Amino acid sequence: MVRPVRFRFDDFVLAPRQRVLLRSGTPVPLIPKYFDLLVMLVERRHDAVSKDAIFSAVWSDVIVSDGALAQAVRTLRRTLGDNSREPKFIRTVSRHGYQFVCAGVVEEPGDDPVSAPAIQLAPVEIAQLSMAALLVASFWD
């Protein structure tokens, strides 16, 4: 099955082929594994996705804990402006996994690229963003 070029929901555009998430046309940075998790949840939004299925698909090359998955979901929720108590995007399915629950996801097939302003980062800026991400991740663990 060929993936649609992009999914639209709320103020977001998720383009799996271009590996970009846009919010109101502005690129939103995501760690690659977290991006993969978001794509999986959106693609399988009609199902509750088990933790085992997520681990197999997203972290197949490494062994990670439930805590790492919980951190990824917390980061995605924060990025999307979601709340775990009243989820608009990602719902926790107790003792099972997660489900993408945003109503009105629109799939847009085609091969045209997503239009977004290009982001040019200097190596120093990339290093600073990486360090900030590590600090935030260590804070939440």
Domains and CATH numbers, the chain: 6-140 (1.10.10.10)
CB 119, CB 27: distance < 8 Å = yes
The single residue listed with the structure tokens 């009105």 is: 104
Mean pLDDT value across the chain: 84
Q: How many CA atoms lie within 13 A of 111 on its CB side?
A: 0
Angle at 17 between CA 54 and CA 68, to 5 degrees: 25
- What DSSP state is assigned to residue 138? H
**Cα(98)–Cα(96) distance, integer angstroms:** 7
- Degrees (nearest 5) of the Cα angle 53, 10, 110? 75
Q: Are 30 and 21 in contact (CB under 8 A)?
A: yes
If one compares 112 and 52, the residue with the highest pLDDT of the two is 52
CA angle 112, 8, 16 (to 5 degrees): 55
Instruction: Quote the CA–CA distance of 55 and 57 in Å, as a whole number.
Output: 6
The whole-model pTM stands at 0.77
The two structure tokens encoding residue 33: 């594994």
Tens digit of pLDDT for each residue in 38-96? 999 999 999 999 999 999 999 998 888 899 999 999 999 999 999 989 999 999 999 89
